[in-house]
Amino acid sequence: MTAPDTPGTAAAENVNAAVWHTYGAHHLDRATPLPEVDEIAWGPAGTGPGDAVLGDLTGLRVLDLGCGPGRHAAHLARARHAAVDAVDLSPTQIERARVRYDGLPGLRLIQADAVAHLRASAPYDVIYSLSAVHFVDPHRLLPALAVALRPGGRLYFTVLHTNSAGHGPSSEVKPRPENLRLAGGGDLTVHMWVLTPELWTDLLAQYGLRAEEVTVLDASEAGNHASYRLFQVRRPVRITSRPRTAQPPVAHAAAGVGAVLAGPRGLLLGRHRRGTLELPGGTVEPGEPLEETVVRELAEETGLRADPADVRLLGMLLDQVGDVVRITFGALVTRWSGEPADQPGERVGDWGWWPLDGLPPGLFECSAQILTAWRPDLPIDHPPAHFTSFADPRESGQDVHGRMGK
């Protein structure tokens, strides 16, 4: 149950958007002077490792997420010879940045929602964010961050751990009110996801990102309890998968199908409400031919229409979760019509086409197994499953092995 003074996710983000617009307008009206920076200031009063933690940025695509007035992005474009996109949701914050840095070589200033930009952009080599990640619901932001990083790409971000009054982090993924002080007096109330480092690490892993180091950044002033955490994160080179539930299926759902639809626009994947990305598919109804199951589930989940004659069964996956044996039939749909769209009452939506050389992390384990059975060259890690091929009798009985990234 959400506390009465704590808004839901969308409401919290809307409050934050309005506050940062007001904050930027306040400083535009005051013409607040801001000194140039000569290195990244990660924590309170410039604490932290500076630029060195970012490594060599020469020629890399870099994103400053929640750039505010753009000082750090401008510094990296000038001093580190990086191509920097600086993104902020607030029109007034971006206006402050443009007044000062418009036309600076290597810097592009963009007013946009963070998640919308991440989903639409080409992959970045490095993404960093200075005290902005905690203003967006992690379940909305982290999957978009994972996709926007190229495999092997690096993510650096700071988040609040303990506020100046000593209020520490939460082990629940929900926002809480915090004060934002204005120059010249006055406060604005924002809503932030202030989470334990362990919870941030688990959330990152859930969406296919690996936290490699967490640095404590404490305020140096006596009596100021403010403390931040700097996360150094990497997207693994290989694509990760997420496990099935250990709960046994209901009696009629012991067998399922997963459908591969691949064409000029890429591979069709949707996002389950639990966060995994997966192929369209579902359970086989009693007495239903497998090809008809594929066609029915495709229509129910995506609205796409296909004919059973255009479904080629690839084979059967047999694996075990706990004491439960799972059977899934992989299928290739060679022809379909329509455009994929979210369907009422379905648990999977947000359908989209993904290039085979840019598949996202966090694939559903079963979908990952089907994809490597279809294309063994795809760099996807998953637990092993026994695959019996229907497409070529000579290949029957082969093992589909998950691959461990190095």
pLDDT digits (tens, 9 = 90+) for 55-103: 999 989 999 999 999 999 999 999 999 999 999 999 999 999 999 999 9
Distance of alpha carbon 57 from alpha carbon 214, whole angstroms: 21
What amino acid is encoded at 77 in this protein?
A
Highest mean predicted confidence (pLDDT) among 44-48, 220-224, 240-244, 281-285: 281-285
* Confidence class for position 397, pLDDT limits 50, 70, 90: very low
| pLDDT tens digits, one per residue of 124-140 | 999 999 999 999 999 99
* Confidence class for position 254, pLDDT limits 50, 70, 90: low
Identify the CA nearest to 203 among candidates 123, 263, 145: 145
Over residues 268-294, the mean pLDDT reads 91
Q: Per the structure block, which two tokens stand in for 330? A: 């992989």
Distance of alpha carbon 211 from alpha carbon 163, whole angstroms: 23
* Confidence class for position 404, pLDDT limits 50, 70, 90: very low
Identify the CA nearest to 139 among candidates 202, 62, 92: 202
Asked if the model's pLDDT at residue 185 lies above 90, the reply is: no
Q: Per the structure block, which two tokens stand in for 302? A: 């995506």
Place of tokens 């009063």: 45
Distance of alpha carbon 137 from alpha carbon 193, whole angstroms: 7
Over residues 338-346, the mean pLDDT reads 94
* Confidence class for position 392, pLDDT limits 50, 70, 90: low
| pLDDT tens digits, one per residue of 6-39 | 457 889 999 999 999 999 999 998 888 888 999 9
| pLDDT tens digits, one per residue of 351-371 | 999 999 888 888 998 999 999
Asked if the model's pLDDT at residue 150 lies above 50, the reply is: yes
- Report the pLDDT value the prediction gives residue 198, as an integer from 0 to 100: 96
Asked if the model's pLDDT at residue 163 lies above 70, the reply is: yes
Under a CB-based contact definition with an 8 Å cutoff, are residues 356 and 267 in contact?
Answer: yes
What's the pTM value of the predicted model, to 2 decimals?
0.73
The pLDDT > 90 percentage for the chain reads: 66
Query: For 120-124, 154-158, 302-306, which range has the lowest pLDDT when averaged over its residues?
Result: 120-124
- Report the pLDDT value the prediction gives residue 237, as an integer from 0 to 100: 85
Q: Give backbone dihedrals phi and psi of 150, rounded to 5 degrees, phi first.
A: -70, 155
Q: Per the structure block, which two tokens stand in for 204? A: 């990152």
Asked if the model's pLDDT at residue 401 lies above 80, the reply is: no
Burial of 233 (0-12, 13-18, 19+ CB in 10 A): buried
Asked if the model's pLDDT at residue 1 lies above 60, the reply is: no
Distance of CA 77 to the CA centre of its chain: 25
- Three-state SS string over the chain comes to CCCCCCCCHHHHHHHHHHHHHHHHHHHHHHCCCCCCCCCCCCCHHHCCCHHHHHCCCCCCEEEEECCCCCHHHHHHHHHCCCEEEEEECCHHHHHHHHHHHCCCCCEEEEECCHHHHHHHCCCEEEEEEECCHHHCCHHHHHHHHHHHEEEEEEEEEEEEEECCCCCCCECCCCCEEEEEECCCCCEEEEEECCECHHHHHHHHHHCCCEEEEEEEEECCCCCCCCEEEEEEEECCCCECEECCCCCCCCHHHCEEEEEECEECCEEEEEEECCCCEECCEEECCCCCCHHHHHHHHHHHHHCCECCHHHEEEEEEEEEEECCEEEEEEEEEECCCECCCCCCCCCCEEEEEEECHHHCCCCEEHHHHHHHHHHCCCCCECCCCEEEEECCCHHHCCCEECCCCCC
Distance of alpha carbon 215 from alpha carbon 361, whole angstroms: 25
Burial of 16 (0-12, 13-18, 19+ CB in 10 A): buried
Distance of alpha carbon 382 from alpha carbon 403, whole angstroms: 6
Distance of CA 348 to the CA centre of its chain: 16
- Report the pLDDT value the prediction gives residue 336, as an integer from 0 to 100: 97
Q: Give backbone dihedrals phi and psi of 245, rounded to 5 degrees, phi first.
A: -75, 150
Under a CB-based contact definition with an 8 Å cutoff, are residues 160 and 177 in contact?
Answer: no
Place of tokens 């997966």: 278
- Report the pLDDT value the prediction gives residue 238, as an integer from 0 to 100: 79
Q: How many residues does the chain have?
A: 406
Q: Give backbone dihedrals phi and psi of 340, rounded to 5 degrees, phi first.
A: -65, 140
* Confidence class for position 406, pLDDT limits 50, 70, 90: very low
Report the relative pairing of strands 176-181 and 241-242 from DSSP bridges.
Answer: unpaired
Distance of alpha carbon 158 from alpha carbon 216, whole angstroms: 10
